[in-house]
Amino acid sequence: AVRRLRADSQLTVIGITGSSGKTTTKDLLAQLLAAEGPTVAPIGSYNGEVGVPLTVFTAEYGTRYLIIEMGATGIGHIEYLASMVKPDVGVVLGVGTAHAGEFGGVERIAQAKAELPSSIGPEGCAILNADDPRVLAMESGVLAQKIYFTADDSFATSSGAVVRAERCEIGRDGHPEFQLVLPGGGSFDVRSRLLGRHQVTNLLAAASIAHTLGIPGERIARALSSAQMVSRWRMERTERADGVTIINDAYNANPESMRAALGTLAELGRGRRTWAVLGEMLELGEDSISEHDALGRVAVRFNISKLIVVGNGARAMHSGAVLEGSWGDEAVFVEDAAAAEAILRAELLPGDLVLLKSSNAAGLRFLGDRIALASNDSTAVPDDHADPLTDSSASGRTNLQGGTKP
């Protein structure tokens, strides 16, 4: 199908991979490129051996940009997807500990993600996150032109161009603001509508791809400043009419994204009572207990007011918080989401700020939806609150048919 589409010489295929941020970067890029020409991007997080072909089949002759999100659960998976779509441009966002149990270690995750840039020929472009040492190490296996993106002012390289975020700040509303500096000169203000400091990586990745495609810096910055979160349950913020704020980031979770979400909660929560409702991070292998324990300690160090740990798989978070110095009812463990919901409904007060975060299978995203709707006149609540496990009308938003991989 891709070979037939390439009969139209305007088609450019863009691959995106990384342990986290793939879907957000895909959504940013799709909004940016849609203003430049006909653009096709995956539904939700379709990124596996079923989801990628489904995305390809929605492209038509005349499609200018085809964005492919690439996930993997083992060595060779991304190489297979790349052989299917032949990306012209590929970006690696980062290598984390998510799904280390499935892969057999973080180094094997890095090996799997490196299959994308190494699949691109000399005529293409590989875009690498220079702030992640494991991603930066992939440069030695790249034949394509290299572009790096970074928020580190000191980073320099002689082997490719660099896209930078300088003077990065987080506004009082939690949105990142920075100067986007592009190769060859030019500095542009970006004031993102996304939530959290960690979004800078995704914004820079989208900017780097757009720059590679020849889009002027002014248009890149303007598009990134107006882009919104499209896919559900990713730092999804709801302001209830009673003054309670809900941040539902429970589509997926790994130690890195958990820390980032807790950091955002702490930044936004200055002067407010903060709640972290955290569930299990799956597929961490032999490191599961220690990683959950560490996140409980992080919540205490961030001075989160209330920690609710949900489910036996996450129990070590509660233990870690207690050992770190949580006392009384500051940290509680509950067996399931229903028990967590009962606490929230009974104890939330106007002005409280609530984060929900867990792996997808833990189901806390649906708890977040219910809590967001608990106030009669809540605003900014997404239209679709269906549980896709029980409501087929939501299938376009989820990983039904095995489409999603880490």
Domains of the chain: residue spans and CATH = 2-226 (3.40.1190.10), 236-383 (3.90.190.20)
DSSP structural state of residue 272: S
**pTM (2 d.p.):** 0.86
The residues facing 309 across adjacent strands are 278, 333
Res 406: pLDDT: 65
Res 327: pLDDT: 84
Strand order, beta sheet including 161-170: 39-40, 65-69, 12-17, 89-92, 125-129, 145-150, 161-170, 176-181, 187-191
Res 284: pLDDT: 86
Angle value at C-alpha 252, between 199 and 287, nearest 5 degrees:
105
Entry field: residues in the chain: 406
Per-residue pLDDT tens for 42-82?
A: 988 888 889 999 999 999 888 999 999 999 888 999 999 99
- The share of the chain scoring above pLDDT 70, in percent, equals 88
Tokens read off for 322? 């207690």
Alpha helices in 114-198 (DSSP H): 115-118, 133-136
CA distance 24 to 260: 14
Q: What are the angstrom distances between the C-alpha of 304 and each of 67, 268, 272, 328, 367?
A: 38, 11, 10, 14, 20
CA distance 120 to 65: 17
Per-residue pLDDT tens for 192-232?
A: 999 999 999 999 999 999 999 999 999 999 999 999 988 89
Q: From 221, 212, 192, select the one nearest 35 (Cα to Cα).
A: 221
Res 333: pLDDT: 98
Res 101: pLDDT: 57
CA distance 264 to 196: 5
DSSP structural state of residue 198: T
**Which portions of the chain are predicted below pLDDT 70?**
1, 3-9, 97-104, 375-406
Q: Element (H or E) spanning 302, and its range?
A: none
